[in-house]
Amino acid sequence: MTTLVTGATGNTGRHVVAELLRRGEHVRALTRNPAAAAGRLPAEVELVAGTHTAPEELDAALKGVSRLHITVTAGLAEVGPELVRRAVGAGVRRITVVWGGWVGPVEQAVAESGVEWTRLEPQEFMSNTLTWIESVRTEGIVREPYDFPSALVHEADIGEVAAVSLLDDGHAGRAYNLTGPESLTPSERIALLSQAIGREVALVPITHEQAVDRLMATGVSRADADYVVGWYATPSEDATTVVDTVERVTGHPARTFAQWVAAHAERFQAPAG
């Protein structure tokens, strides 16, 4: 059987692909640029051109697919239900969806699709730390408006939970809250990062509005920027409370932030010269 993974080169999608391949599955990866993706994904992955925000163009990509992984991203809310409808019509019988932070139109469409589904509700991704790279490398600082704890989850664990849910029985109709094994403040994360790169990194406070402006400068809408920064300003209990879902689903403890940092430390090193 074939599994189609949308967002296959993204922070979580590539881990879904890797775990499915590790389990011997045939994977079809949906990507806007197959030529570029060829250098980022294993050779055995079947690359197909397209985007999940244009479901009317995906009939060929969905042909012969029995399982589908969706990552909810900007722009999908309006067309996601059509993607789900077309997928089910094409023969997809099991869907996993990484939510966009709440149960919106896409998540609801999946739940009402009539096929087996599992919704993954990860809290903050450890990969969000990558936004610190430039300031850490060039200035040795991190600018954040708040220093509240977050039960960050490793994107590889999200990918593995998705793969298990797609391949194994017993996960249909479940909504899985996913966290890492500890709740860490930015200061605590910075301390672990400093240790990994062998250089002290400082936390520099910025205002709420500066954080919103920073996001908007990357192309994020005002509404989305307000939502994201507001999430950090008043984190929910789910965002800060560690749960053991990853271990219960995968059979191993959730990966730590220290493990994530060790794998990415080189990217934070100061430029040579």
**What are the backbone dihedrals phi and psi of residue 235, each rounded to the nearest 5 degrees, phi first?**
-60, 140
Beta strands in the chain (DSSP E): 2-5, 26-31, 46-49, 65-71, 94-98, 116-122, 141-144, 174-178, 202-205
Contacts of residue 248, defined as CB under 8 A and 6 or more positions apart, other chains included, come to: none
> What does 65-124 look like in DSSP terms, one character per residue?
EEEEEEE--TT-TTTHHHHHHHHHHHT--EEEEE-SSS--HHHHHHHTSSSEEEEEEE-S
For residue 188 the two structure tokens come to 């605590």
pLDDT at 272: 74
Block residue for tokens 């999608």: 13
Contact assessment for residue 248 and residue 174, using Cβ atoms and an 8 Å cutoff: no
Digit-by-digit pLDDT tens for the chain (273 residues) are 999 999 999 999 999 999 999 999 999 999 999 999 998 999 999 999 999 999 999 999 999 999 999 999 888 989 999 999 999 999 999 999 999 989 999 999 999 999 999 999 999 999 999 999 999 999 999 999 999 999 999 999 999 999 999 999 999 999 999 999 999 999 999 999 999 999 999 999 999 999 999 999 999 899 989 989 999 999 999 999 999 999 999 999 999 999 999 999 999 998 876
**DSSP bridge pairs for 143:** 204
Does the predicted model carry a pTM greater than 0.85? yes
Contact assessment for residue 28 and residue 46, using Cβ atoms and an 8 Å cutoff: yes
pLDDT at 107: 98
Block residue for tokens 């990415």: 264
C-alpha 132/C-alpha 121 separation (Å) is 24
Cα three-residue angle 258-149-262, rounded to 5 degrees? 10
Residue 89 burial (10 A CB sphere; 0-12, 13-18, 19+): exposed
C-alpha 120/C-alpha 161 separation (Å) is 8
Contact assessment for residue 29 and residue 5, using Cβ atoms and an 8 Å cutoff: yes
Phi-psi region of 50 (alpha: psi -120 to 50; beta: other; left: phi over 0): left
C-alpha 54/C-alpha 80 separation (Å) is 9
pLDDT at 273: 62
Contact assessment for residue 149 and residue 124, using Cβ atoms and an 8 Å cutoff: no
